[in-house]
């Protein structure tokens, strides 16, 4: 129950960061927080349900891989964007507006 509370709180913080940060790196950092919250919840649920350690760890590892890949791609996009326009702020990037 403690782990659940912790994970939900961290997820909420991460979401708040995603919504309030105006800077792409800040948003990325917040997304990492949300992913970490998911990891905690996964580990806690695995421990609570009595699943084998191997199963839990391998699934969490997959999440870790995804997060790493996401961070790498996100950062490279950030760099490319910076080279192109010098802007890395979310509120300046509204080109997908309909």
Least CB distance to other proteins at residue 46 (A) = 7
The token pair at 76 is 């490279």
Tokens representing 91? 């509120």
| Nearest of 27, 2, 37 to residue 81 by alpha carbon | 27
Tell which positions 61-80 bind other proteins, by CB under 8 A.
61-62, 64-73, 75-80
State the binding string over 15-44 for other proteins (x if CB under 8 A, else -): xxxxxxxxx-xxxxxx-xx--x--xxx-xx
User: Cβ of residue 92: shortest distance to other proteins, in angstroms?
Assistant: 10
| Biggest CA pair distance of the chain | 51
């Amino acid at each position: 129950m403690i782990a659940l509370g912790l994970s939900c709180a961290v997820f909420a913080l991460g979401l708040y960061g995603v919504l309030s940060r105006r800077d792409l790196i800040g948003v990325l950092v917040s997304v990492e927080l949300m992913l970490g919250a998911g990891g905690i919840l996964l580990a806690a649920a695995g421990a609570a349900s009595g699943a084998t350690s191997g199963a839990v760890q391998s699934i969490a590892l997959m999440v870790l891989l995804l997060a790493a890949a996401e961070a790498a791609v996100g950062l490279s996009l950030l760099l490319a964007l910076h080279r192109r326009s010098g802007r890395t702020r979310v509120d300046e990037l509204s080109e997908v507006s309909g």
